Amino acid sequence: MQKIVKSRLKTIGLPPGSLVHIGDKKRDTTVITRIEYGEDTCNQSNISSKDLSEIKQSEGKAIWLNIEGLNETEVLAQIGDKFGLHPLVMEDILNTDQRPKIEFSQDYMYICAKMLNYDKKLGEFDIEQISLVLGKNFVISFCEKDTDIFAPVIKRLSLSAGRIRKLGTDYLMYCLLDIIVDNYFTVLEDFSEEIEVAEDELIVQSTSKTLKTIHKLKRQVLFLHKAVWPLRDVLSSLERGESELINESTNIFIRDLYDHVVQAMDTTETIRDILSSMLDIYLSSTSNRMNEIMKVLTIISTVFMPLSFIVGIYGMNIRNMPELGWPYMYPVLWGVMIAIVAFMLYYFKKKKWW
């Protein structure tokens, strides 16, 4: 089961800016992919985490470093030093329980976002933190593990497809965020299919297993809400043009991305309302089923109440009871009891009590 809050025992007593990886260890070593590109060229290479001297920028070229794996804090510290990143920013990058946010500095901006994947077998979200640092001529992306989600962007850079090489690194950062947001809709579609299955089960025949399923889905919506909603504020800050690193030509794309996030938020709210309605339907159906059972038991008890009264009277140990000596008393008594039962059932039916 996913943890709502990740342990921070390692950071207790440490000074601010201490680089400690908070979260699950998803990769042992750090893999660094360096992509340097201009309008006419694009060169891609892998850099060893033991030799960071190759991380350098050519004059007039843009560079994108895609870093996979956050466990080697010493390597990340060296990268932060080379690009002048503040220790508190590096601390936020290593804190994988960070809320999606944006921070502006004089020379760069830091954006934290969440990438989602839905595991249908486990019925849980796999949430990975993606940290982006945008500078004047560079973009650095930090991922917790190996991921191919940015493969389309790398392909566009290598093929010089569209405007990605012509525009600045701010457009590259937009492309990375756009990939993350587009993936939300794929995840929401898979998650919606699970909800539809639970709805069908609820309508056909709900059991205690159905309640567990609904509870698990509602719990997953909390993680979904935590990942998607704060990103709206991030894009709102970018849209307002609070940084000179964002060119006017990129603003229109950021506004479009903002609309996509709002659409994902609306879908999340719809899913949460559906799950709340499903829980209400389950509780109502359970209550109705219990009422039906109690109604049947009440009718049976009510029918047998006068019969028990009659049997109680003639079961008393009294000698001077004149009916006991009458030879037709037994069949008459049966007839009276059957008539009482028939009358009571007819009366209940007329009143529509059953």
Residue 23 has pLDDT above 70, yes or no: no
Residue 162 has pLDDT above 60, yes or no: yes
Residue 25 has pLDDT above 70, yes or no: no
In this structure, are residues 224 and 261 in contact, taking their beta carbons and an 8 Å threshold? no
pLDDT value of residue 297: 84
Mapped onto helix, strand or coil, the DSSP state of residue 178 is helix
Q: DSSP secondary structure string, 189-202? A: HHHHHHHHHHHHHH
Q: How far apart are CA 92 and CA 253, in angstroms?
A: 27
In this structure, are residues 124 and 108 in contact, taking their beta carbons and an 8 Å threshold? no
Mean model confidence pLDDT for the chain: 82
87-101, 312-326, 330-344: the lowest-pLDDT one: 312-326
- Only one residue has tokens 């976002």, namely 113
pLDDT (average), residues 96-106: 86
31-37: strand order across its sheet: 42-47, 31-37, 62-68, 138-143, 124-134, 109-119, 101-104
Fold of 9-284: Beta Polymerase; domain 2 (3.30.460)
Q: How far apart are CA 145 and CA 301, in angstroms?
A: 66
pLDDT tens column, 220-275? 888 888 888 888 888 888 888 777 888 888 888 889 999 999 999 898 888 888 88
249-253, 335-339, 347-351: the lowest-pLDDT one: 347-351
Q: DSSP secondary structure string, 111-155? A: EEEEEEEEETTTTEEEEEEEEEEE-SSEEEEEESS---TTHHHHH
pLDDT value of residue 163: 80
pLDDT value of residue 48: 75
pLDDT value of residue 110: 92
Torsion angles phi and psi, residue 199, rounded to 5? -65, -45
Cα dihedral sign for 328, 334, 337, 343? negative
Residue 72 has pLDDT above 60, yes or no: yes
In this structure, are residues 14 and 28 in contact, taking their beta carbons and an 8 Å threshold? no
Residue 26 has pLDDT above 80, yes or no: no
Q: Where are the domains of the chain?
A: 9-284, 317-350
What is the chain's alpha carbon radius of gyration, rounded to the nearest angstrom? 34
pLDDT tens column, 196-214? 888 888 877 777 788 888 8
pLDDT (average), residues 282-295: 82
In this structure, are residues 120 and 104 in contact, taking their beta carbons and an 8 Å threshold? no
Burial of 216 (0-12, 13-18, 19+ CB in 10 A): middle
Torsion angles phi and psi, residue 45, rounded to 5? -155, 155
| pLDDT band at 31; cut points 50, 70, 90 | confident
Q: How far apart are CA 184 and CA 351, in angstroms?
A: 55
Residue 132 has pLDDT above 90, yes or no: yes
pLDDT value of residue 112: 92
The three-point CA angle 187-91-229 to 5° equals 30
